[in-house]
Amino acid sequence: MATIISGKDLAGNIKEALRSKLAKIGKKPSLAVVLVGDDPASKVYVGSKERSAVEVGIRSVVKKLPGNTAEQELAELVKELNEDIGINGILVQLPLPGHINADRILAQISPKKDVDGLHPLNMGKLLLGQEPYFYPCTPSGIMEMIHSSKIDLKGKNAVVIGRSNIVGKPIAQMLMKEHATVTICHSRTKDIKSFTKAADIIVVAIGRPKFLTADMVKEGTAVFDVGMNRLESGLVGDVDFEGVKDKCSFITPVPGGIGLMTVAMLMKNCIKSIEIQ
């Protein structure tokens, strides 16, 4: 039976450490979160970030814009936040409405205020094996879970299912940085099972409910589930948790897993932003 890595416990410990750090620094960083439109999931995520900011001692400023906001108007708001010395971190909540090019908007955030770690400069440094100003939050949360569980990555076979810029690509780079051998699978990969059956570590971020099943996993694999899928039965991940857990050495739950760690790492990046600036 797997050890269940609790995101709730680990995130709570991280936030407590951040509160102590802020008390010693004597400064209160400010996070600006930009929300465009009325996407229900985005509203939930922004609310969670606001609550966590208050818990840690970070000032949260939420900028809400209507769904029909022009891309140029959003770009001008980002420029204002870049120039505002009272704002330390900027996060534009994704996804954006279809008429707005998210890549162009993210590229206009100052790399030193890019607490989501998605600016081309930060992502480029990650690709080159250099130290970015900020690492992306969800991959950072996964790495914290790996380290807290004392999982040695050196020489291990890691499979990442999903190739998004937010999770799949950056976590692959971070795993390689710690000397894992990494394979990226995705929706067009043929016979994904042949890859996952040979994996020591699996990160699943494909957006398909209960996609990874017990027959796809070998005994003793560590499984990290990034998925958040809302079904009539409730919130489930990309992993068939009940089926897979008895074969794993470690597994993360949904809810109560990586999602909470993502927010905790955002708070960590916000505090790092005042040190950088």
Residues recognised as catalytic: 49, 93, 116
Helix (H) or strand (E) holding 214: none
Taking residue 170's Cβ as centre, other Cβ atoms within 10 Å add up to 26
- In sequence order, the 6+-apart residues with CB closer than 8 A to the CB of 268 are 14, 18, 140
Q: How many residues does the chain have?
A: 277
Tokens of residue 127, six digits? 């690709």
Question: Do residues 254 and 235 make contact, with C-beta atoms less than 8 angstroms apart?
Answer: yes
* H helix count then E strand count, the chain: 10, 11
177 DSSP assignment: H
> Using CA atoms, how far apart are residues 221 and 198, in angstroms rounded to an integer?
9
40 prior amide bond cis, ω within 30: no
Residue 130 identity (one-letter amino acid)? Q
